[in-house]
Amino acid sequence: MSNLAIIPARGGSKRIPRKNIKLFLGKPIIAYSIEACLESHIFDEVMVFTDDLEIAEIAKSYGAKVLMRSEKNAKDYATLAEVMDEVKEICLSKNWIFNNLCCVLATAPLITPDLLKKGLDSLMKNQADSVRPLVRFSYPIQRAQRLNEGKVTFINEHNKNIRSQDLEPSFFDSGMFYWMQFNSGLRGKNRYGFEISEMESQDIDTLDDWRKAEWKYQLIHL
């Protein structure tokens, strides 16, 4: 089976400027994703998909190849599914044959080779269209509350008297990586996931998120 790792990394980022190459504990954050992919030894190619020449040079310096992305799919509103559709089109136009793709986020410094391998194992074992790591909500979302001008109400009044331990666990996307079969990409409906702990991931949208990720990384690597 041939596997391609694709790391989308556009140059524009409004909430954290130049986020994809901002130094994370002394190293461009994208380097952690590149190194995890290379160290896993499960990819035939590791490519950074970017519209930015500086990102391209940094990616090459850490051992990745570079694929330039279109201006259309480098905008804020481009979805990962659309980005991966473009990757597939490029592969087909160049006659590059891959069985599986793994879209790895550029801002996932807690990613490890073992997590990537676990995702691939799940993809193969379950014959899934796609697989992603998920994190369990620490508090049941069924008991979420609404705050309106200081007044508190339950969003679902039915659940207010149900014990927390009796409610079904809920999960959120860790935002680290997505394994997928080449033919179905992220649009296939046979989606699988596997649970990871809150300490193993950190979605990074704000500077507070960034500091939390650094704290977790340092704790894990003590």
Please state the domain extents for the chain: 3-137+169-220
* Confidence label for 73 from pLDDT (cuts 50, 70 and 90): low
pLDDT at 30: 98
| CA-based radius of gyration for the chain | 19
Helices 29-40, 113-126: crossing angle, 10 deg rounding:
60
Judged against a pLDDT cut of 70, whether residue 139 lies above it is answered with yes
Q: What is the pLDDT of residues 52-68, one digit of tens each?
A: 999 999 999 999 999 99
Structure-model confidence comparison of residues 72 and 70, the more confident one: 70
Is there a contact between 144 and 165 (Cβ–Cβ < 8 Å)? no
- pTM of the full predicted structure? 0.92
Rounded CA gap, 121 and 207, in Å? Answer: 34
pLDDT at 158: 87
Q: What is the pLDDT of residues 90-117, one digit of tens each?
A: 999 999 999 999 999 999 999 999 999 9
Q: What tokens appear for 67 in the block? A: 């694929």
pLDDT at 49: 96
C-alpha 45, offset from chain centre = 18
CATH of 3-137+169-220, picked from 3.30.300.340, 3.30.70.890, 3.90.550.10, 3.40.190.10, is 3.90.550.10
Q: Which residues does 221 contact at the CB level (< 8 Å), separation at least 6?
A: none
Rounded CA gap, 21 and 29, in Å? Answer: 6
* Confidence label for 188 from pLDDT (cuts 50, 70 and 90): very high
